Amino acid sequence: MRQKIVAGNWKMNKTLEEANILATEVSGMVMDEVKGDVRVILCTPFPYLLSVKNVLGNSSRILVSAQNCSEHESGAYTGEVSASMIKSLGVSYVILGHSERRQYFGEDGKLLAKKIDVALKHGLTPIFCCGEPLSVREANGHEALVKKQIEESLFHLDAASLQKTVIAYEPVWAIGTGKTATSQQAQDMHAVIRKHLASKYGQSVADSLTILYGGSVSAANAKELFSCPDVDGGLVGGASLKSREFTEIVKSI
Ligand code: PEP
């Protein structure tokens, strides 16, 4: 059975006090209302990782993630945060390759391969994001681009390392736009990703990997998206900033 995951990407939002309140509310609702087999992950800004982790306590049902890490181990990289620093807080996940990092910070497949390696080396589970911009989808190049993104950043891994990663398919045109992929579009791309992974690593490895959908997931559309056979949960941005809506999304799985 693949691990079902719903991750909330808070991006660059909230003060420390607001972050603690949101984490407290989500944690309470998830513990009371959500089945035990779903893993919930709160992807907070760096300064709140430890505090939110302390709010959540030691449950394995609800965990914390960073939103990025440096490709470097340590040293003179002012302003950067390393994988080992994140791990030393007791954090277990890190988002890598989010389209906002690709778009605004110029992160490419080669750099992301290095970040994946350093994250895995320090025992963090990467949540690796891939997905196409609108122009690429309109030109029918979405499958080729997503396959290339996966090849560039993940295909150097051996099977055991690949199995320590989570993949998030996030069509760029659906992120923060209120425009969601249809469940058919999501299922089709998730199946393409799984098939591509199977072509290199074999079917049983591909079948064991958790592939999340991200892009304007809401309480209104989560059930339909999560009912697709190859969609194992979601990476949720805007809707993860509201505890009730986020919990409803988690309950939809
Ligand atoms: C995201 O940030 O990964 C995301 C999917 O955002 P939103 O849900 O707001 O589209």
For residue range 139-196, list pLDDT tens digits in order: 999 999 999 999 999 999 999 999 999 999 999 999 988 888 999 999 999 999 999 9
Pick the closest to residue 171 from 141, 151, 195, 198 (CA basis): 141
Model confidence over 19-48: pLDDT tens digits? 999 999 999 999 999 988 999 999 999 999
Query: 171: Cβ below 6 Å to ligand 1?
Result: no
| Residue % of the chain over a pLDDT of 90 | 96
Displacement of CA 26 from its chain's centroid (Å): 18
**Contact (CB, 8 A) for 131 and 123:** no
* 98 φ, ψ (degrees, to nearest 5): -55, 145
* 235 φ, ψ (degrees, to nearest 5): -110, 115
Q: What distance in angstroms lies between residue 133's CA and the mean position of ligand 1's atoms?
A: 14
Q: Which of 100, 107, 170, 248 is catalytic?
A: 170
Pick the closest to residue 5 from 233, 250, 244 (CA basis): 233
Model confidence over 235-247: pLDDT tens digits? 999 999 999 999 9
Q: Is the pTM of this model over 0.95?
A: yes
**Contact (CB, 8 A) for 226 and 236:** no
